[in-house]
């Protein structure tokens, strides 16, 4: 916030086009999955630069990460930013839910008295907001024409310079390595919420099985049990997103399973080279079931963060994958216990 | 992955339908689709589905078709949302599957 500008509809807060240290820290925090649901800005009208009555109006959600992406993309421009109340959800997801929608947009146009503020009748809406907005209905209800902007806010300067024309590349949602890598921390943190308690339980449980005393068993097996569990978690939340295009199959559960198989082989190579006598064929088979099952489940969960999966497809793969994951998980656990009894 | 580096999801599952007779060729669906599912045929008078498997069922084309020529069972392709729906969780946790308004969320 860099002050307030006086307009025909009253004072409008003006925002900076560079991020403060606090904004960068906030972005890092939500990228790590902390406080993501409470990272919001106040809905309403904002000014960027020194906007006039014919400056463009750009619409966004009240997720602060979305808002920040937009304002830094507008450095050096004069523009109005209209923030809809999406409960702090990003444009794409909020459009899917309908909170970033025709009704909310038209209501905000009225509430912000946009018709009095600007001379033109155009609203630049992010293209990914289109699943919640019916452009023709907005025109009818508010008198404003919706112009769909680029998928990425960083393309806005070029889009505006071209007279609000998007190139085909601006219209495509890509899912390149860097775009997938940025999702890894949040996937890991979300997984940790159940994986950390599970680790403690499994570490303790490893003492119950085996030939030695409770603590003897924990010392011998606890670390390996952790290693196996986390091989699966890393395969599902780190390897699967990073290697997505090169992993076999189109189904995320199979991609995750393949990454898990890779991780299982690495884990077993280390396991057998280090622990020698404590491993046998049953142990190997157990981990060959468990690690891919965990990774397959987590890979399937990555459909939610991915940019190109359909609900019909997710339902289809879940019908097959979930029973298999559960079966592999149960068989793997039983085999692991059985292998210890044999020693 | 195709030659253009595009990632494609499962074959033959997307519910997207386009009624050729109703289409007026305005091109709104080409504008809003983030996956390049549609293509123009002829002299820009009509649109057809060129890559059905690329459809992620976001519903943007259906929402923005002024003549209602497009239909898709829209929703979010998210496994956690499917679990949430099965568990009857829609209010406090995460996305709802069919993309209905309301509820806070995870995505």
Assess whether pLDDT exceeds 50 at residue B107: no
| Residue located via tokens 């339902």 | A315
Nearest CA in chain B to A246: B1
The pLDDT of residue B92 = 39
Hey, is A17 helix, strand or coil? coil
Same domain, A99 and A212: no
Q: Quick one: A121 and A185 in the same domain?
A: no
The model carries a pTM of: 0.89
State how far the Cα of A279 lies from the Cα of A227, in Å rounded to an integer. Answer: 14
> Domains plus CATH for chain B?
17-74 (3.30.70.20), 75-107 (no CATH)
> Which residue spans within chain A are E strands per DSSP?
4-7, 10-15, 44-48, 57-61, 79-84, 122-125, 145-148
Say if residues A67 and A16 touch (Cβ distance below 8 Å).
no
CB contact under 8 A, B35 and A301: no
Closest alpha carbon within chain B to A130: B60
Query: Residue B17: its chain A contacts at CB < 8 A?
Result: none
Q: Are residues A131 and A216 in the same domain?
A: no
| Together in a domain, A33 and A151 | yes
pLDDT digits (tens, 9 = 90+) for B9-33: 999 999 999 999 999 999 999 999 9
Does the pLDDT value for residue B100 go beyond 60? Answer: no
* Same domain flag for A98 and A120: yes
Asked if B61 and B70 touch (Cβ cutoff 8 Å), the reply is: yes
Residue A279 pLDDT level (bands cut at 50, 70, 90): low
- Residue B42, pLDDT score: 77
Residues 6 or more apart whose CB falls under 8 angstroms from that of A54 comprise A118, A119, A120
CB A288 within 8 A of CB A267: no
Boundary-marking domain end, from A156, A171, A186: A171
Q: Could you give the ipTM of this predicted complex? A: 0.88
Domain that includes residue A74, residue range: 4-171
Residues of chain B neighbouring A136 (CB-CB closer than 8 A): 64, 66
Same domain membership, residue A189 and residue A152: no
- Compute the mean pLDDT over every residue in chain A, rounded to the nearest whole number: 93
**Which whole number is the average pLDDT over A111-134?**
96
d(CA A246, CA A291): 19
**pLDDT surpasses 60 at B1:** no
Measure the CA angle with vertex A98, ends A250 and A103; round to 5°: 150
Give mean pLDDT, residues A274-285.
Answer: 77
Last residue of a domain, one of A171, A203, A224: A171
pLDDT of residue A342: 73
Residue B45 has pLDDT above 80, yes or no: no
Chain Cα centroid distance, residue A264: 26
Q: List Cβ neighbours of A167 (8 Å cut-off, separation of 6 or more).
A: A158
* pLDDT value of position A35: 86
Reply yes or no on whether the pLDDT at A180 is more than 50: yes
C-alpha A252: how far from its chain's center?
15
What is the predicted pLDDT for the residue at A208? Answer: 85
Express each pLDDT in A146-171 by its tens digit. 999 999 999 999 999 999 999 999 99
Q: What is the pLDDT of residue A343?
A: 64
pLDDT of res. B3: 43
Instruction: Identify the domain boundary among A171, A203, A223.
Output: A171
Q: How confident is the model at residue B101 (pLDDT cuts 50, 70, 90)?
A: very low
- What was the pLDDT predicted at B73? 95
Q: What is the pLDDT of residues A186-197, one digit of tens each?
A: 999 999 999 999
Do A212 and A324 share a domain, yes or no? yes
DSSP β-ladder status, A57-61 and A44-48: unpaired
Cβ-defined contact of B73 to A90 (cutoff 8 Å)? no
Q: Are residues A51 and A163 in the same domain?
A: yes
d(CA B37, CA B6): 12
Cα atoms found within 13 Å of the Cα of residue A253, Cβ hemisphere only:
20
Residue B104 has pLDDT above 50, yes or no: no
Annotate A243-275 with three-state secondary structure. HCCCCCCCCHHHHHHHHHHHHHHHHHHHHHHHH
Compute the distance between CA of residue A133 and CA of residue A146 in angstroms, rounded to an integer. 9
User: Torsion-angle region of residue B88: left (phi > 0), alpha (psi -120 to 50) or beta?
Assistant: left
Q: CB–CB of B101 and A96 under 8 A? A: no
Q: Yes or no: say if A80 and A109 are a contact pair by the CB < 8 Å rule.
A: no
Contact assignment for A307 to B56 by CB distance below 8 Å: yes
What is d(CA A306, CA A326) in angstroms, rounded to the nearest whole number? 23
pLDDT in tens, A200-219: 999 988 888 877 888 888 88
Q: Answer yes or no: do A93 and B101 touch at CB < 8 A.
A: no
pLDDT of residue A20: 92
State whether A149 and A200 are in the same domain.
no
Same domain, A203 and A286: yes
Closest by Cβ to B32, choosing from A99, A127, A304: A127
Count of the separate structural domains present in chain A: 2
Helix, strand and coil content of chain B, in percent to the nearest 5, comes to: 20, 10, 70
DSSP A36-73: GGG-B---EEEEESS--TTS-EEEEESBHHHHHHHHHH
CB A73 within 8 Å of CB A157: yes
On whether both A319 and A210 belong to a single domain, the answer is yes
Q: What is the DSSP letter of A308?
A: S
Whether residue A137 contacts residue B20, with contact meaning beta carbons closer than 8 Å, is answered with no
Contact A343, A211 (CB under 8 A): yes
Whether the Cβ atoms of residue A49 and residue A74 lie closer than 8 Å to each other: yes
Residue B55 to residue B103: CA distance in whole angstroms:
26
CB contact under 8 A, A312 and B13: yes
Residues of chain A by 3-state class (helix, strand, coil), percent to 5: 60, 10, 30
- Asked whether residue B5 carries a pLDDT value surpassing 80, the answer given is no
Asked if pLDDT for residue B97 goes beyond 50, the answer is no
Q: Residue A320 in contact with residue A337, Cβ under 8 Å? A: no
Read off the CATH number of the domain in which A158 is found. Answer: 3.40.50.11600
Structure tokens at B71: 């239909």
Share of chain A above pLDDT 90, in %: 81
Residue A220: per-residue pLDDT: 83
Q: Judge if A233 and A259 occupy the same domain.
A: yes
Q: At which residue do the structure tokens 């392709």 appear? A: B77
Chain A and chain B share a number of CB contacts under 8 A equal to: 160
A99: helix, coil or strand?
coil
Distances (CA, A) of A233 to A268, A285, A322, B84: 15, 18, 16, 21
């Amino acid at each position: 916030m860099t002050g307030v500008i006086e307009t025909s509809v009253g004072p409008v807060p003006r925002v900076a086009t560079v991020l403060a240290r606090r904004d960068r820290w906030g972005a890092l925090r939500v990228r790590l999955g902390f406080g993501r649901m409470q990272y919001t800005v106040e809905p309403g009208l904002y000014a960027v630069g020194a906007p006039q009555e014919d400056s463009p109006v750009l619409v966004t959600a009240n997720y602060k990460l979305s808002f920040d992406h937009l304002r830094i993309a507008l450095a050096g421009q004069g523009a109005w930013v209209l923030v809809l109340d999406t409960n702090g959800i990003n444009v794409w997801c909020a459009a899917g839910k309908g909170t970033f929608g025709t009704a909310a947009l038209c209501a905000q146009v009225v509430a912000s008295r946009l018709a009095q503020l600007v001379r033109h009748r155009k609203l630049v809406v992010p293209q990914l907001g289109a699943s919640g907005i019916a452009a023709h209905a907005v025109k009818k209800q508010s008198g404003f024409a919706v112009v769909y902007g680029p998928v990425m806010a960083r393309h806005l300067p070029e889009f505006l310079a071209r007279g609000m024309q998007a190139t085909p590349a601006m219209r495509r949602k890509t899912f390149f390595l860097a775009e997938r890598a940025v999702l890894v921390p949040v996937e890991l943190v979300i997984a940790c919420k159940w994986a950390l308690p599970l680790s403690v339980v499994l570490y303790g449980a490893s003492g119950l099985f085996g030939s030695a005393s409770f603590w003897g068993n924990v010392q011998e097996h606890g670390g390996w049990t952790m290693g196996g569990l986390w091989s699966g978690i890393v395969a599902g939340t780190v390897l699967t997103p990073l290697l997505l295009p090169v992993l076999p199959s189109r189904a995320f559960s199979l991609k995750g399973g393949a990454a898990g198989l890779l991780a299982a082989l690495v884990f077993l190579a280390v396991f057998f080279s280090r622990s020698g006598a404590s491993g046998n064929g049953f142990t190997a088979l157990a981990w060959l079931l468990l690690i891919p099952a965990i990774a397959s489940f987590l890979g399937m969960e990555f459909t939610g963060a991915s940019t190109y999966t359909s609900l019909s497809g997710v339902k289809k793969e879940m019908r097959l994958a979930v029973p298999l994951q559960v079966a592999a998980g149960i068989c793997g656990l039983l085999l692991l216990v059985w292998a210890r009894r044999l020693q | 992955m195709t030659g253009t580096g595009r990632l494609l999801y499962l074959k033959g599952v997307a519910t997207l339908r386009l009624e050729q007779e109703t289409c007026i060729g305005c091109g709104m669906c080409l504008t809003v689709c983030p996956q390049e599912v549609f293509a123009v045929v002829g002299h820009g008078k009509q649109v057809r589905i060129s890559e059905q498997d690329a459809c992620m069922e976001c519903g943007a084309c259906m929402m923005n078709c002024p003549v209602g020529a497009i239909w898709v069972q829209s929703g979010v392709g998210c496994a956690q949302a499917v679990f949430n729906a099965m568990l009857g969780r829609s209010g406090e946790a995460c996305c709802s599957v069919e993309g209905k308004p309301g509820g806070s969320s995870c995505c």
